[in-house]
Structure 1
Amino acid sequence: MQKSQAWLLLAMAITVAVYWVGLSGPLVLDDHYNLEVLQRWLMGKATLHAILFDGRSGMFGRPLAMASLALSAWLGGYTPFAFKLGNLIVHLLCGGAVFLFVRRIARLDVRLREPAGAIAATVATLWMMHPLQASTVLYSVQRMAMLSTLCTLLGLWLFVAMRERLQRGKDRAALIGLFAGVPMLTAAGFLAKENAVLLPALCLVVELGYFHDTLRPRAVKSFFGIYVLAPLLLGLAWFATNPSRLLAGYLRRDFDWQERLLTQARALCDYLSKIVLPNPPRMGVYTDDFALSTGLLAPPTTLIAICVLASISVAAWRLRRRLPSLFVGWGIFLVGHAIESSIIPLELYYEHRNYLPLLGVLYALVGLTVALGRRLQSEDFRPGRIGITLGAAVLVLFALGTHGRARVWSTPESLALSAVAAHPQSVRANMALVDAALRHGNGEMAAQSLQRLVDADNPRTRALGHLNRLYITCALDRNGDPNDLKQGTTLMPTHLTYAEPELFGLLLDKTGDGCGAVDANMLGEALAGMVNRARAQPDSDWAKWQLRYVAARFFALAKNWPRAREQALLAWQPGSEPAIASLLVQTQLATGDLAGANKTYYEAKRRIDPANAQDMAGMKYLHSQIEAAISQGSQTYTK
């Protein structure tokens, strides 16, 4: 066994030890939302087909990732430990793939060829132990990103291997590997997470960095024409003819696509700072308070970030022949972020988006370090011992930092406390701390967290602070403060987002049997008024009809059937869920509108999937209610 391989195995063992304390930590954010189908599967209430193809993430449910998570649940039960141990195993596999890929491309670099094995082991070790990776490894549902990255890394290694063979002449096996193997790994990665579609573009980065001095074979040109240029042109043509299909998601965001692009410049620079100079206490999974850029100088760091990114890009391009590792590394970082830092209406910032791009920065830094060392040697300096000492110190700091992050992730309380310290105005971080505090009976800490939100700079955060305080008091004391309801709905910006339906849905669950001075009718009126102010959003928008539906349910709880019917009718949009029909029919029957109830029933029947047993049962129930109303001849029929 070579020294580099032995070092890699040792690094993997250390990585396991570093992460072990965090494997029993909590599920966070959308973990349970995406994984609860596994719990139902283990109980015999869901099929494997539902797990693989009815997933709630991505375009096609990400079946490869869901299959892997199902295996974890089957072996270890529906527990955080089972999912996170599986993530750690995939992380080690990715580390091995990093080693293989980096060793392969380092051998193409004149400056890195001789120590290629050592460089690959160093980069793989830094990558596995970097503190920024904790937000991926210990975030259960990020198995999707990890498997996608594994396929991408294997695809990159295969591309370089086949490309070298083609450089030596015609090779049928190389052509098969290039035109079949790389696309197959792209497809496999796509079935874990869509980011894998970037694999051919990443291959182009390697091609431009390491194969620029030779005559490019026709097969290679054809490969990039078919798998990079053609999809790019088709994608642009599709977007040009269907812009609303992509941009419609911004209806439920606090920003538009221009603001998102401006903000991503700052986000990329922030990622860079955390990669180059990691500060574990600043890291975390609750980053919903990341400031929005509304212009080049709002804030001024937006323009600075754009200049930094442009300067590095220009330097990497101009030095691509002398320092190909800088060009390739920087290209991996930028291309790796090309989907999640584009105009796609995703949230602004997440650390786990760096799982693959981090590799590019580390490779570029190691390449620059080796180049600097050779330059110093040429001037009679001997940096070897200093370099080894500094490298060892960095690895120790990385290991300690990642272990610290794993300890933070080990309990909901420590994760929430750390998140609030780093992001004091994050709604998610403060609500996680409220939840942890209430579980331990610490009402004072919960009140402090809610007050932080009420006092925040962002108007939506203040509004959510008031409404969350109302939710907590309703859940605990059944005695909500009407002022919190008034302030929450009045302060709320007129643009509705994903957050409001979720929060009012929770309020609905806690106010079924009253909430003191805040009754169901008051909640319905406040919510209806808030939705009415969102005039810029069409009634067919998801957030709007969802909130109308919740308002209708509040009115139904108060037996205010005319208002319930009004809101339910507004919620019954062409794109809304058939389940809303059940409430609408109830309100129509309660107000004597038998014809309207019958019409709603047949509209709903056209929308449902006949193969869905639950929907069919719901339709049968609606029909029985209508038939009962008709047979009784009642004009005041209620459920």
Structure 2
Amino acid sequence: MMRQTTRFQWLAGLVLLLGVLLYLPGLPGPLLFDDKPALTVNPLVQIKGGVFDEWRVAALSSGSGPLRRPIAMLSFAANHAIAGDFSPLWLKAVNLGIHLAAAISLYFLCLTILDELAMGRDKQTRRLVALTAAAIWLLHPLNVSTVLYAVQRMAQLATLFVLAGLLLFMHYRRRWARAGASTGEVLAAALWLLLLTLGAALSKENGALLPWLCVVLEVCIFRGLWSGHPCRWLGRASWLALLLPVALVLVLLAVVPDFLVAGYAGREFTLEERLLTQARLLWHYLGWLVLPNINDMGFQHDDIVLSAGLFAPWTTLAALLAWVVTLVAAVALRRRFPLLLLAVLFFLVGHSMESSVWPLEMVYEHRNYLPGTMLCLVLAAAIVIPATSSKNVSVYYPIFGVLAVLGLLLFVRVQYWSDELALSRSNASRHPESSRSNYFYANALLRHYRRGEQRGLSDTERTESLLLSRHYFERMYQTNDRDVAALAMLYYLDSRYFTRLQEQVDWLAALDELLDNRRLQASDWNALAMLFEVFAAESDRTDEATALGLLDKLAKRYPESLDVLRYRYNYLSARGAEQMYLLALLQTGQERAPADPWFYQRLIYEYSLNADFHNLYRYAGLWLQNDSNRYHLHEIKRLFDAPSLPQADSP
């Protein structure tokens, strides 16, 4: 027995070591996409750590989600305070540490579930199943886009809190199933679960699913068992609690549909299209988990066809029917194969927040980080338990075979994620119809061209990068001619590097026409910001009337948009417009958004230029007055400490 335990401990240690070694090459990889607004251009989270209030401000500095995700942001602030900057290596090293901790938590959760179900002939078999489940999840290549995507620490921390909460629930619930519990013990457990739910939700909002996932465990594992006897009312209550959130969403859709539909104003798809498409996407996710084909994986998946109806495409109806059959079969077989029902319900409930009615992006791989855990348990049980019955083949052979395949796939995928150019190239080659994949590759090539001299590239290599960049931007446009970023970047490249091509295609005219009916999304606004920076450059030949015409069109379509005011101010400021006009724009923005620091910063700057200290201090006072939570107190202090700010004469 001691020998088996020692062997098992060595095996567990080797699995963890393998996970570390396989992920190590990806730690210095690039910061991507949402890493920029959340971290690298967010001054509030870039703290030194010596002032207590900086930690409070950093915790609340995220614009993601209604809860601001303070626990995750605190961890990023700690990263910056300790390392001195947002080094990709240290950011992702912490992510890897969280991944290892989550895998260990998953092992203990799976072991507790298996012990309760008494699956496997002995304790050693159950430990081996639990370890295999945790190892599959730890080494699964699908999780690369969570672990090596710095900002997805939010999803990781939420998962870690949820796994801890489920483990706590199993600890208490197993005891209650045999000996019952006092009211005080139930309340104590409920308070601990509430605390862990808060920790999960304050890391990322889908952590609030912890109580619902506890209900899934109750339905699948305990089935109302209390004090050694089936409790009929508890069993019925657990099924009611399982279905209640679904019923509440249906009531919400029926009674106040505008509450949900309004959020789709900035999307190129409707609520109905999202729900129908998600039915298909959930099968995509399952496919990636069960049969991981890294050629299908990628950072962006905007090439997936939307479902416009049940038969458009026909796989929409097939997906919906398949889910109905799967659920019915899992419920019917729940006593014989309880892990099947557990995996199905856990997967669906785990996806219920990000893959349902809310107007989020359509698909991301990191959404499977938590929902896929119980599926790994089913896969592990299917591998290990039959193998223990074989007298001719060691149980370790199929385990090592599966982990070897996963390790190889993980190794290959991590290599891509270790380099921006390699990652974006692989995404573009595997997803040629994805406009975003083409954009990221083209942008990476453009940066490669600009930094070519520093990297010692020859003129030929730099020219090749520039030509390839334009090729992929044009392919992006051909893939989706309604993409604002493609038009903006093609205009930029042709006006700066390929001036003769400007005579062939008028990209600005195409953009002007597109702005008449395109629902602008976050990526579109970012592209427009870049475009107006190009317009503002001294070398740009676009006449002022064209630039102002685009701004006027945007202002007409989005009269309350603060971004349009920002673009106009930046453009006119760079072009040397009169200060009176610039101040009027900033004052309009301040009146529309009294708590927005952007307008106060520039108002204070503009008034400092002509030493108008009356208005300078007036707007500083308004900023403080409207910043009731004092998020920007230290920013205001730094602004007045800046040496570029003119100082008043001594009296």
Same fold judged by TM-score > 0.5? Answer: yes
Residue 346 of structure 1 aligns to a residue whose secondary structure is coil
What one-letter code is carried by the residue in structure 2 that aligns with 1:26? P
Give how far 1:186 is off.
0.9
* Map of 2:468 onto structure 1: 445
* Map of 2:300 onto structure 1: 286
Give how far 1:310 is off.
2.1
* Map of 1:71 onto structure 2: 78
* Map of 1:167 onto structure 2: 177
Q: Is the 8 A contact 1:52 1:67 kept in 2?
A: yes
Q: Is the 8 A contact 2:387 2:393 kept in 1?
A: no
**Does residue 549 of structure 2 align to residue 525 of structure 1?**
yes
Q: Is the 8 A contact 2:161 2:207 kept in 1?
A: yes
How far apart are the structure 2 equivalents of 1:569 and 1:366?
62
Q: In 2 relative to 1, CA 530–489 (structure 1 residues): closer, same or farther, beyond 3 Å?
A: farther
- 133-142 or 205-214, which deviates more: 205-214
- 519-528 or 179-188, which deviates more: 519-528
- 278-287 or 15-24, which deviates more: 278-287
Give how far 1:426 is off.
2.9
What one-letter code is carried by the residue in structure 1 that aligns with 2:472? S
When normalised by structure 1's length, the TM-score is 0.82
Q: Is the 8 A contact 1:478 1:515 kept in 2?
A: no
* Map of 2:59 onto structure 1: 52
* Map of 1:636 onto structure 2: none
How far apart are the structure 2 equivalents of 1:479 and 1:547?
31
Give how far 1:302 is off.
1.6
Residue 223 of structure 2 aligns to a residue whose secondary structure is coil
What one-letter code is carried by the residue in structure 1 that aligns with 2:512? T
* Map of 2:272 onto structure 1: 258
Q: Is the 8 A contact 1:288 1:427 kept in 2?
A: yes
Q: Is the 8 A contact 1:166 1:174 kept in 2?
A: no
Give how far 1:466 is off.
1.8
* Map of 2:327 onto structure 1: 313
**Does residue 508 of structure 2 align to residue 490 of structure 1?**
no
Give how far 1:259 is off.
1.1
- 329-338 or 176-185, which deviates more: 176-185
Give how far 1:487 is off.
1.2
Give 2:481's match in structure 1, choosing from 445, 453, 459.
459
What one-letter code is carried by the residue in structure 1 that aligns with 2:473? L
Q: In 2 relative to 1, CA 119–497 (structure 1 residues): closer, same or farther, beyond 3 Å?
A: same
* Map of 2:115 onto structure 1: 107
Q: Is the 8 A contact 2:427 2:437 kept in 1?
A: yes
Give how far 1:183 is off.
1.6
What one-letter code is carried by the residue in structure 2 that aligns with 1:7? L
Question: Equivalent residues in 2 for 1:7-46 (5 A)?
Answer: 7-36=11-40, 37=43, 40-42=46-48
Give how far 1:332 is off.
1.3
How far apart are the structure 2 equivalents of 1:577 and 1:445?
43
* Map of 2:524 onto structure 1: 500
Give 2:343's match in structure 1, choosing from 324, 329, 337.
329
Give how far 1:615 is off.
7.9
How far apart are the structure 2 equivalents of 1:83 and 1:582?
32
**Does residue 152 of structure 2 align to residue 146 of structure 1?**
no
Give how far 1:340 is off.
0.3
Q: Is the 8 A contact 2:69 2:154 kept in 1?
A: yes
Q: Is the 8 A contact 2:45 2:77 kept in 1?
A: no
Give how far 1:165 is off.
0.7
Give how far 1:368 is off.
4.0
Give how far 1:495 is off.
2.2
Residue 108 of structure 1 aligns to a residue whose secondary structure is helix
Give how far 1:48 is off.
1.6
Residues 462-486 of structure 1 deviation map (CA, whole Å, 9 limit, x = unaligned)? x431222123455668999471111
Give how far 1:224 is off.
6.2
**Does residue 6 of structure 2 align to residue 6 of structure 1?**
no
Q: Is the 8 A contact 1:98 1:153 kept in 2?
A: yes
Q: In 2 relative to 1, CA 82–185 (structure 1 residues): closer, same or farther, beyond 3 Å?
A: same
* Map of 2:135 onto structure 1: 125
Q: Is the 8 A contact 2:536 2:570 kept in 1?
A: no
Q: In 2 relative to 1, CA 340–136 (structure 1 residues): closer, same or farther, beyond 3 Å?
A: same
What one-letter code is carried by the residue in structure 2 that aligns with 1:450? F
Give how far 1:40 is off.
3.2
How far apart are the structure 2 equivalents of 1:475 and 1:383?
72
When normalised by structure 2's length, the TM-score is 0.80
- 96-105 or 36-45, which deviates more: 36-45
Q: Is the 8 A contact 2:148 2:417 kept in 1?
A: yes
Q: Is the 8 A contact 1:480 1:518 kept in 2?
A: no
What one-letter code is carried by the residue in structure 2 that aligns with 1:395? L
- 575-584 or 305-314, which deviates more: 575-584
- 431-440 or 273-282, which deviates more: 431-440
What one-letter code is carried by the residue in structure 2 that aligns with 1:65? A
Q: Is the 8 A contact 1:423 1:429 kept in 2?
A: yes
5+ long unaligned stretches in structure 2: 450-461, 605-614, 640-651
Residue 375 of structure 2 aligns to a residue whose secondary structure is helix
Residues 291-317 of structure 1 deviation map (CA, whole Å, 9 limit, x = unaligned)? 222111222222222222222222111
How far apart are the structure 2 equivalents of 1:238 and 1:607?
37
Give how far 1:569 is off.
10
Give how far 1:519 is off.
2.7
Q: In 2 relative to 1, CA 162–102 (structure 1 residues): closer, same or farther, beyond 3 Å?
A: same
How far apart are the structure 2 equivalents of 1:131 and 1:572?
47
- 43-52 or 334-343, which deviates more: 43-52
Give how far 1:203 is off.
1.1
**Does residue 309 of structure 2 align to residue 295 of structure 1?**
yes
- 70-79 or 138-147, which deviates more: 70-79
Question: Equivalent residues in 2 for 1:213-252 (5 A)?
Answer: 214=225, 215=229, 244-252=258-266
Q: Is the 8 A contact 1:480 1:516 kept in 2?
A: no
User: Size of the alignment, in residue pairs?
Assistant: 596
- 263-272 or 106-115, which deviates more: 106-115
Give how far 1:250 is off.
1.2
Residue 321 of structure 2 aligns to a residue whose secondary structure is helix
Give how far 1:581 is off.
7.0
Q: In 2 relative to 1, CA 524–571 (structure 1 residues): closer, same or farther, beyond 3 Å?
A: farther
How far apart are the structure 1 equivalents of 2:481 and 2:555?
16
Give how far 1:72 is off.
2.6
* Map of 2:533 onto structure 1: 509
Give how far 1:87 is off.
0.4
* Map of 2:608 onto structure 1: none
5+ long unaligned stretches in structure 1: 587-596, 619-639
What one-letter code is carried by the residue in structure 1 that aligns with 2:328? V
How far apart are the structure 2 equivalents of 1:576 and 1:315?
56
* Map of 2:194 onto structure 1: 183
Residue 289 of structure 1 aligns to a residue whose secondary structure is coil
How far apart are the structure 2 equivalents of 1:103 and 1:242?
44
Give 2:93's match in structure 1, choosing from 50, 63, 85.
85
Q: In 2 relative to 1, CA 483–345 (structure 1 residues): closer, same or farther, beyond 3 Å?
A: same
Give 1:196's match in structure 2, choosing from 207, 221, 239.
207
- 232-241 or 397-406, which deviates more: 232-241
Percent identical pairs in the alignment equals 29
- 243-252 or 62-71, which deviates more: 243-252
How far apart are the structure 1 equivalents of 2:8 and 2:288?
27
How far apart are the structure 2 equivalents of 1:302 and 1:231?
24
Q: Is the 8 A contact 1:479 1:517 kept in 2?
A: no
* Map of 2:376 onto structure 1: 362
Q: In 2 relative to 1, CA 218–296 (structure 1 residues): closer, same or farther, beyond 3 Å?
A: closer
* Map of 1:621 onto structure 2: none
Residue 46 of structure 2 aligns to a residue whose secondary structure is helix
Residue 27 of structure 1 aligns to a residue whose secondary structure is coil
Q: In 2 relative to 1, CA 222–582 (structure 1 residues): closer, same or farther, beyond 3 Å?
A: same
Give how far 1:389 is off.
3.0
How far apart are the structure 2 equivalents of 1:242 and 1:607?
35
Q: Is the 8 A contact 2:142 2:297 kept in 1?
A: yes
**Does residue 363 of structure 2 align to residue 349 of structure 1?**
yes
How far apart are the structure 1 equivalents of 2:392 and 2:151?
42
Give how far 1:73 is off.
2.6
Q: Is the 8 A contact 1:111 1:370 kept in 2?
A: no
- 236-245 or 77-86, which deviates more: 236-245
Q: In 2 relative to 1, CA 556–19 (structure 1 residues): closer, same or farther, beyond 3 Å?
A: closer
Q: Is the 8 A contact 1:202 1:335 kept in 2?
A: yes
Residues 3-50 of structure 1 deviation map (CA, whole Å, 9 limit, x = unaligned)? 444322210000000100000001001112112337631398992221
